[in-house]
Amino acid sequence: MLDMTPANSVERTALKINPAKTCQPVGAMYAALGVHGCLPHSHGSQGCCAYHRSHLTRHFKEPIMASTSSFTEGSSVFGGMANLQQAISTIFEMYDPEIIAVHTTCLSETIGDDIPTIIGKCQNEGKIPEGKVIVHANTPSYVGFHVTGYSNMVKGFVKYLAASTGRRSDAINLIPGWVEPSDMAELKRYIAAFNLPAIMLPDTSSVLDAPATGEHSFYPKGGTTVAQIRAMGDARHTLALGAWASEEAAIQLTKQCEVPHEVLDLPIGLAATDRFISAIAKLTGTAVPQLLEDERGRLVDVISDMHQYLGGKKVAIWGDPDQVIALTEFCRDMDMKPVHVMTGGNGQAFEERIKAILADSVPTANIKQQGDLFQMHQWIKQEKVDLMIGTTYGKFISRAEDIPLVRFGWPILDRVGHSYFPSVGYTGGLRLATQIISAIQERQDRDAPDHAFELVM
């Protein structure tokens, strides 16, 4: 289907073809699902909400619960205040959530609906039951991308709920960035290995990877509770993983509650995980547990043993900026050559960071923020790679150019497992490394002549 993509690139300023991103409300909805008893609410038309729910459902293979203000032509002209007020009353009456997380859409943003005023009016009129909470985030689709929406929603939870009592606790805050439920569970396991109390916001583990029990639960057992979010204001430190997804909420906690924060890369791969573990060890003042030392050793062992398959292999990488930065560093550390690196997200800092990572190993790499997969395909036509790492949308390039694809990031629409097996940490790095090695070895087997078709590799 895409094999007619021309190799010669033409600079495009007003057109994106197959952009490597989607819109803000999807991210806001995902973040809200990581709060216990929370119902995400899309303040806009039914179509927007349906698209965002379906996209998340296709990735996680789980039903996504969310409500909508169901704008009509009248709402589009006169504003959505009446729709949101009615929605709030109906939601609490029929679905009884602990908290409603309202996010805006293009339509409500263009109209200019004042969500805080509407929420305040509902509070004054008694439409919000005792003990229930409503928060909101502005997430217009024509600004930023899905990670921006995630960031804005997490910041919204902090802004509305986090408070300082003046008594510091021993706990830390962990803002995990846009990762899978399995990754959030793995991050909690790492923190627990140091016996360090922590509050993670959001936490989609046991929500979007919940087991089948034979009974439907509208609000699964997982997620950060409202009480825990309030307690974040008394934490002694915040670790924010990923500047694009997590930094804004950490800054808000510092401004609002004077909780110091530190921004780290997502702990994907060896070096980034080392930095994450070192930060925890510094906070606890303890040595790294032997359990984690052993896990690190296994990852190093596999990378060392399999260097003959990894060394010098050219790779194309795309996805969310926080994930791509850590993944590019991991590939570099495995002696691979990331020659094409792209994100659909915005921010000049992405290009600068990737250039710094590849300065010594691949100084001529193609690097672009706010890119699209049409451009990635053209790069690959100009300089062939041995492997591609990115989202499901790369499968068309993979087929057209006959290049192996390791699916990574969001969304993955045509495979399962990503929400159940982590990619963060040493064990996650081991899984990711074996996926990469297996893809390379499978291609080697496929292309080998009979005399070189080895039983043992």
Question: Got the DSSP string for 120-189?
Answer: HHHHHTT-S-TT-EEEEE---TTSS-HHHHHHHHHHHHHHHH----S---S-EEEE--S--HHHHHHHHH
Alpha-carbon span 289 to 259, nearest angstrom = 27
Alpha-carbon span 223 to 181, nearest angstrom = 10
Write down the pLDDT at residue 415.
95
Nearest to 64 by CA among 208, 225, 210, 215: 208
pLDDT single digits (tens) 254-285 = 999 999 999 999 999 999 999 999 999 999 99
CATH class of 293-450: alpha beta
Whole-model pTM: value is 0.95
Q: How far apart are the first and last CA of the chain?
A: 34
Type and span of the H or E element at 341: strand 337-343
- The domain segmentation of the chain, as residue ranges, is 24-160, 172-290, 293-450
- Decide yes or no: CATH 3.40.50.1000 for domain 24-160: no
Alpha-carbon span 225 to 133, nearest angstrom = 12
Write down the pLDDT at residue 2.
62
User: What is the SS3 assignment for 302-338?
Assistant: HHHHCHHHHCCCEEEEEECHHHHHHHHHHHHHCCCEE
Task: pLDDT tens for the chain, 457 residues: list them.
Answer: 567 888 888 888 888 888 999 999 999 999 999 999 999 999 999 889 999 999 999 999 999 999 999 988 877 777 789 999 999 999 999 999 999 999 999 989 999 999 999 999 999 999 999 999 999 999 998 999 999 999 999 999 999 999 999 999 999 999 999 999 999 999 999 999 999 999 999 999 999 998 888 888 889 999 999 999 999 999 999 999 999 999 999 999 999 999 999 999 999 999 999 999 999 999 999 999 999 999 999 999 999 999 999 999 999 999 999 999 999 999 999 999 999 999 999 888 999 999 999 999 999 999 999 999 999 999 999 999 999 999 999 999 999 999 999 999 999 999 999 999 999 999 999 999 999 999 999 999 999 999 889 888 7
Write down the pLDDT at residue 135.
98
Asked whether the domain spanning 293-450 has the same topology as the one spanning 172-290, the reply is yes
Q: Rounded to the nearest 10 degrees, what angle do helices 24-32 and 146-161 cross at?
A: 40
Write down the pLDDT at residue 233.
98
Q: Rounded to the nearest 10 degrees, what angle do helices 270-284 and 425-447 cross at?
A: 170
CATH number of 172-290: 3.40.50.1980
Contact 256, 233 (CB under 8 A): yes
Alpha-carbon span 156 to 2, nearest angstrom = 40
CA 107 to chain centroid: 25
Longest dimension (CA), the chain: 80
Helix, strand or coil, per DSSP, at residue 3: coil
Alpha-carbon span 409 to 271, nearest angstrom = 19
Alpha-carbon span 153 to 24, nearest angstrom = 10
Nearest to 41 by CA among 110, 113, 144, 147: 113
Burial 117-144 (b: 16+ CB within 10 A, else e): ebbeebeeeebbeeebbbbbbbbbbeeb
- For 141, residues 6+ apart whose C-beta sits below 8 A from its C-beta are 23, 24, 25, 105, 106
Contact 158, 253 (CB under 8 A): yes
User: What is the SS3 assignment for 32-45?
Assistant: HCCECCEEEEEECC
